[in-house]
Structure 1
Amino acid sequence: MSPGSPPRVWRKIERDPSSKLNVIIVGAGLGGLGAAISILLAGHDVTVLESASEIGEIGAGIQVLPNSSRILISWGLEDKVASHVTMPRYANMIGWKGNHLSRMDLHAYADALGTPFWDFHRANLHRCLLDRAVELGAKVIVKSRVTAIEYAQDGLTATAVLSDGKAMSADLIVGADGISSRLRELHLGKPDPPLPTGDLAYRLLINAKEMLADPELRHFIEDPQVNYWIGPDAHAVNYVLRGGELFNMVLLVPDDMPEAAMTVDGNVEEMQALYQGWDPRIGKILRLCDSVQKWKLCIRPTLERWTHESGTFTLLGDAVHATLPYLASGCGMALEDAAAIGLCLAKLTNKSQEQKRRALRVYEECRKERTEKVVERGNIQQHLYHIHDGEEQKERDKKLKMFGDIDEQLFKTPKALIQPRQDSGDDPLPWRYHGVGGWLLTYDVEMDVEQKWEQIQDVAKARPLL
């Protein structure tokens, strides 16, 4: 599929029992529900196990970049999400005092790539995924905490053992239970907690009506854009949700939370004090906030092997490669994982161990290096966004302007296209072409699966499948 081509909508494959897998997905978050959709479209049966007592999603805003909106469209969700999305015009880089540094034309990129930038309230995206999974036939069971995985001696099935003693067997179990994954630890056979990054996030939602009443703030609502303020040891991000009803603000600051805590209630006055001296508009926005939560930001370095040697278990999403949110790509990588595993399982012609192992090897080959690059670049952005004033900061800001000028030249030609590239560039605004946009935004999961499938078929006889 050429750059700029609209995605095709996948049609559900009809299978006979000889090639239809029974798949259990552990975790009903964005990645788990995405995997359910993708695997159901591949013609298999899916049961989703969720440890919580009800299906829901916490959090606030989430950004979906063109590489992942392409997947949502492929899953038949374009009409379902239309009423929930905001399509921001620019991404702006702003100095901590309020000085404009650079911007990215998100609409121009969307036109060149053939798919949009979307901003969601996380709960709306989650509901759309859940509804689509159920529509396709997913069985979702709550209050189902998996405490062990057992593998059959014949290597054909695995069994999820639940906290109530119930056992459920499947041809394949997919661990999509998030950053605090129990399934990852079961796979490794040892404790493996997430790694703190030294940052935390304050996440808050502001009623847009209050901002519209302020002449200095109303333009943030009336002309939706993504704004990054970058400064010493901290940065702030905001964008509009639900078509202008809500304003999402995320503040990224040094972590002062207890070691074991992942989420705690925050103190509004303490939060406001951290941004004293910054752009006065930030202070005005923060004064509209009544309550806030703090989230510890952690990462998950990838594993040498995501998949059990039997071909009956694998991992997906934050459970295997959680990243800092500084590329806005945690959700995107989980959706790509979900799409890739579904496309790989779509190629099965029987339920043999050989075919399942091959499918999971292709899945891992497609996802491992790419997700490692996202985690690595997220760590780089942590430094770039938090530089103190001085020579390094001046050099960063000079690059932002230079690459902004280069970026604008990309769209001088009518119907400009963004050609894929593999290397990363030095642009501190990472989504742009000369940052990581050349490989992050242009990714086509269908093409990748096809290419990797052919490569692995060529070498399958030369070495083991896993």
Structure 2
Amino acid sequence: MAGRAVVVGAGIGGLAAAVGLHRTGWEVTVLERAAVLDDAGAGISLAPNGIRALDALGVGPAVREAARRQYTGGTRTPGGRWLSRMDGAALERALGTPMTGIPRAELHRLLRAELPASCLIVGAEVESAEDLDADLVVAADGLRSRIRTALFPGHPGPAYSGSTVLRAITAEPVPLDTDFELTWGPGAEFGHIAFTDGRAEWHAVINSPAGVRHRDPLAVLRRRFGAWHRPIPDLLDATRPEDVLHHDIHELAVPLPCFAVGRVALLGDAAHAMTPNLGQGACQALEDAVTLAAELAAGPSLPAALARYDAARRPRTQSVTRAARRAGRMGQQLTHPLALAARNTALRLAPSGATIRAILRHADWTPPALDRCLNGDADRAGEAPPAPARTVR
């Protein structure tokens, strides 16, 4: 089954959905609200399920080449004591794929490279899915999805998690002893992801009221984290102030009743925005994309395919959303000294394979097979600029 599809949103999930649909014979248009594709978002750590989804889409080899495999790291206290260690080699043996770190901009570029240049339209404000000229509409328009709001007007929408995140990619390489780390203090977390070129992405998550912003965010972070173990001060010192991104963390705490309404399929944050505490947000969106393309390719009708997509994706993603919320409450958001001490002791005493088993709960996913109806490769996104803006009402 194929036809004309419009994907609303050119984030990771939307681009991945477009790649999957394009590869299975659909005529795809991607409408992106932003007028300029700045690919903001610093870096991303992809779990094996995300890499397997990219493999199913045909993008896995290029991502592996551009990404740094994560074999060493774990979780520490602000003073540097290890609470748990990550054995990336053991994870790779278990799943055949390691954790990997890559700049989001590079992942976006690799996904766009799999699409015809003419299919991406930037500056396109989509007010409603009703008037889009398509057999299928994929709502991948993010946390504050307008399409989701129109389909579920009684849904409360995103809820603030109680935490805010500041993050950046360093402007220069930083000597690092590990590929990936998290450090937990009272109501705060600092983590880093190492990249192939020696630079690193860092993030600082802090309990905070929503909407608080700082004139000099690096100065605020140095006061909060400057006494924490190295390389945390080094990462902040290697960062330009203008590169720091600051976003409050929201989630869909109230789950949606379904991910498909009529000819519309919801995907990624539009369907199941979650906190980042498990690092599964993008991975689940990639799973969505592969599953949607596979179910549509299997036919026999759009309603049947979308019903199967909903049945496959809603239970899994909503379970991961709940698990991510619990992980945040037991990790970064803890503030009481007794609770912190109990958690840290439990982590230190946990068996060596506990970290691997925790990752396997969510990362052990096998993608459905896609019918690779490959279209011509001559017209790629890197060979022409995106189409100009238009407004869709």
- TM-score computed with the length of structure 1 as normaliser: 0.73
1:265 deviation in Å? 6.6
Query: Is it true that 1:75 corresponds to 2:57 in the alignment?
Result: yes
CA drift of 1:394 comes to: 3.1
* 1:149 to 2:71 alignment: no
Q: Which residue of 1 aligns with 2:365?
A: 443
* 1:374 matched residue in structure 2: 320
Instruction: Output the CA distance in 1 between the equivalents of 2:265 and 2:55.
Output: 25
Q: For residue 369 of structure 1, report the CA deviation from its aligned partner.
A: 1.2
Give yes or no for contact 1:89–1:106 (8 Å, CA) kept in 2. Answer: yes
SS in 2 for 1:148: coil
Per-residue CA deviation, residues 15-47 of structure 1 (Å, 9 max, x unaligned), is xxxx42211111111100100111122222211
Over residues 255-302 of structure 1, what are the superposed CA-to-partner deviations in whole Å (9 max), with x where a residue is unaligned? 24428xxx8875221121122543254234323333123111110232
Is the aligned partner of 1:293 residue 2:245? yes
In the alignment, the residues of structure 2 paired with residue 124 and residue 250 of structure 1 have an alpha-carbon distance, to the nearest angstrom, of 18
Q: Is the 8 A contact 2:71 2:99 kept in 1?
A: no
Corresponding residue of 1:194: 158
Partner of 2:96: 114
Find 1:139's aligned residue among 119, 126, 144.
119
2:167 alignment counterpart: 203
Matching of residue 229 in structure 1 with residue 183 in structure 2: yes
Amino acid at match of 2:26: H
Q: How far apart in 2 are the matches of 1:83 and 1:264?
A: 37
Which residue of the partner structure matches residue 202 of structure 2?
249
Q: What 5-or-longer segments of structure 2 have no aligned partner?
A: 370-393
Quote how far apart the aligned CAs of 1:373 are: 1.4
- Equivalent residues in 2 for 1:65-464, closer than 5 Å: 65-134=47-116, 139-150=119-130, 159-160=131-132, 169-189=133-153, 192-209=156-173, 211=174, 218=175, 220=176, 223-241=177-195, 243-258=196-211, 267-279=217-229, 281-291=231-241, 292-301=244-253, 302-308=255-261, 310=262, 312-349=263-300, 355-386=301-332, 387-388=334-335, 390-405=337-352, 407=353, 429=355, 432-433=356-357, 435=358, 437-446=359-368
Separation in structure 2 between the aligned mates of residue 199 and residue 128 of structure 1, nearest angstrom: 31
Q: Distance in 2 between matches of 1:328 and 1:265?
A: 28
Give the secondary structure class of the aligned counterpart of 2:305. helix
For 1:300 and 1:358, the matched residues in 2 are separated by: 26
Once the two structures are TM-superposed, the CA of residue 247 in structure 1 deviates from its matched residue by 1.4
Instruction: Percent identity, please.
Output: 26
Post-superposition Cα deviations, 1:69-103, rounded to whole Å, max 9, x if no partner, equal: 01112222233224421112123110122111211
Q: Is the 8 A contact 1:91 1:225 kept in 2?
A: yes
Higher relative contact order (CA 8 A, sep 6+): 2
Question: Is 1:23 the equivalent of 2:5?
Answer: yes
C-alpha deviation, 1:191, in angstroms: 7.5
1:118-156 per-position Cα deviation (integer Å, ceiling 9, x unaligned) = 101000000000111228xx7122221111232xxxxxx
Contact 1:207 1:245 in 2 (8 A): no
1:153-194 per-residue CA deviation (whole Å, 9 max, x = no partner) reads xxxxxx32xxxxxxxx11111100011211111111368542
Larger CA Rg, structure 1 vs 2: 1
Distance in 2 (CA, whole Å) between partners of 1:133 and 1:332 is 20
Contact 1:203 1:249 in 2 (8 A): yes
Q: Is the 8 A contact 1:92 1:225 kept in 2?
A: no
From the superposition, tell whether residues 325 and 265 of structure 1 become closer, same or farther in structure 2 (CA, over 3 Å).
farther
1:35/1:339 contact within 8 Å kept: yes
Q: How many residues of Structure 1 are paired with residues of Structure 2 in the alignment? A: 365
One-letter amino acid of the structure 2 residue matched with residue 438 of structure 1: L
- Aligned-partner Cα distance in 1 for 2:145–2:120: 19
- Does the Cα contact within 8 Å between 1:266 and 1:293 map onto a contact in 2? no
1:47-86 residue CA offsets vs partner (Å, 9 max, x unmatched): 1111222334111010110011011122222332244211
Letter in 2 for 1:315: L
Letter paired with 1:27: G
**Matched residues in 1 for 2:232 and 2:362: separation?**
30
CA distance in 2, matches of 1:147, 1:110: 44
Question: Cα deviations across residues 355-408 of structure 1 (Å, max 9, x unaligned)?
Answer: 211111110111111111111111112122233464433332233233342x1x
- SS in structure 2 opposite 1:244? coil
Q: Could you tell me whether the CA contact under 8 Å between 2:186 and 2:340 is conserved in 1? A: no
CA contact (8 A) 1:202 1:266 kept: no
* Contact in 2 for aligned 1:102/1:404 (Cα 8 Å): no
